[in-house]
Amino acid sequence: MSLTLTSDAFANGQSIPAKYSCVGKNISPAITWDEPPAGTKSFALIVDDPDAPMGTWVHWVLFNLPANARSLQENADSSAMSAGKNSSGNLRYDGPCPPSGTHRYYFKLYALDTTIGLQPGATKEQVLKEMKGHILAQGELMGTFSK
């Protein structure tokens, strides 16, 4: 099953406004999603850039979002959630900041039939490993950015 992710900041495949990047306020855009399948116990969100020169760059990792959540507000406070470590070593959203060219940024949301038994600061890889076999639905929203 798939989830539909949307943002009032940018449409799928379109440019992410500078406000949400390292050259702007570096705050997370608001995102919303539709109803998940029955049995959803939590959500996980991973935002990454596969176009980074040194390999995929992770911008945001959230897990154990409540099953009744249908959105994240703009400038979401990661300290109030289970936040994983991004590629900058932070437990928060770090916006697009490509060294050159236009990069793609994928906001990937997963509806899970469990909660993840990891502590804040877990890596994307650890979260993905814990999610294996527990994904009921997923969706993605992709935006682009260049400085």
> Does 79 score more than 80 pLDDT?
no
* % of the chain exceeding 90 in pLDDT: 95
Q: Mind listing the pLDDT tens digit for each residue in 80-136?
A: 789 999 999 999 999 999 999 999 999 999 999 999 999 999 999 999 999 999 999
* % of the chain exceeding 70 in pLDDT: 100
Global pTM reads 0.96
pLDDT score recorded for residue 81: 81
Annotated domain spans of the chain: 5-145
Confidence of residue 75 (pLDDT cuts 50, 70, 90): very high
Residue 59 vs residues 35, 41, 50, 96: alpha-carbon distances, Å: 25, 24, 11, 8
* Three-class secondary structure assignment of the chain: CECCEECCCCCCCCECCHHHCCCCCCCCCCEEECCCCCCCCEEEEEEEECCCCCCCEEEEEEEEEECCCCEECCCCCHHHCEECCCCCCCCCCCCCCCCCCCEEEEEEEEEECCCCCCCCCCCHHHHHHHHCCCEEEEEEEEEEECC
Confidence of residue 73 (pLDDT cuts 50, 70, 90): very high
Superfamily of domain covering 5-145: PEBP-like (3.90.280.10)
Confidence of residue 57 (pLDDT cuts 50, 70, 90): very high
pLDDT score recorded for residue 78: 79
